[in-house]
Amino acid sequence: MNTPASQTNSTDANADADVIRVTEQWIARAVIGLNLCPFARAPLAQQRVRFCVSHADNEDALLDDLCEELVALQNADPQICETTLLIHPHVLTEFLDYNDFLGAAETAVQVLGLEGELQVASFHPGYQFADTDADTIENCTNRSPYPILHLLRESSIERALESIFDPDEIHRRNIATLRKLGRAGWQALMGNDSGAK
């Protein structure tokens, strides 16, 4: 489902299509290709992922788009829309600003009465885990071409984790995968048309 967050003209629509194409490429090559998330393949193959491009250029507008998408996901049939990627190329391009915004995203979930129903996961071109250097390869597990707020159903997460004996093993395996791949391997995988560094 490739509907942008707001009305667009043809130029905007073409730009949105490019953003979605690059994001889908990242998912195919990294998230699924490296098996960074073992639960991502099925919803994507079944076309139950909504790709929504926000045209927000400030945090207030992005928060409005986020609230709209949270409500829409909660009201959607999971067999039609399992999860939403809210891609926002024009705002919070600096990771520290993005990271600060995540608190507002969590508050929005609570204010909308969706705590325990939905949660927001985070991906960003400059993603950096605490206590790591910016160029540490492990950060690439959460590095995407554009800033993304990933809206997830709690029930889907719980269902997926039922088949995993040790959920922490996913993180450990991802670190091992990326260390083996290395910086040059990651850049080659992502290609020149992706913003994920």
Q: pLDDT by residue (tens digit) across 77-102?
A: 999 999 999 999 999 999 999 999 99
pLDDT at 6 over 60: no
Instruction: Identify the pLDDT of residue 165.
Output: 66
Strands 118-123 and 83-87: unpaired
Strand order in the sheet with 118-123: 49-53, 83-87, 148-153, 118-123
| Lowest mean pLDDT, pick from 4-8, 113-117, 151-155 | 4-8
Give residue 135's pLDDT band: very low, low, confident or very high (50, 70, 90): very high
- Taking the C-alpha atoms of residue 52 and residue 65, their distance in angstroms, rounded to an integer, is 10
Query: pLDDT tier at 3 (50, 70, 90 boundaries)?
Result: very low
pTM: 0.90
Q: pLDDT per residue over 151-194, tens digit each?
A: 999 998 888 777 776 778 888 999 999 999 999 999 999 985 55
Q: Would you state the pLDDT for residue 1?
A: 43
Chain mean pLDDT for the chain:
91
The rounded distance, in Å, linking the Cα atoms of 95 and 98 is: 5
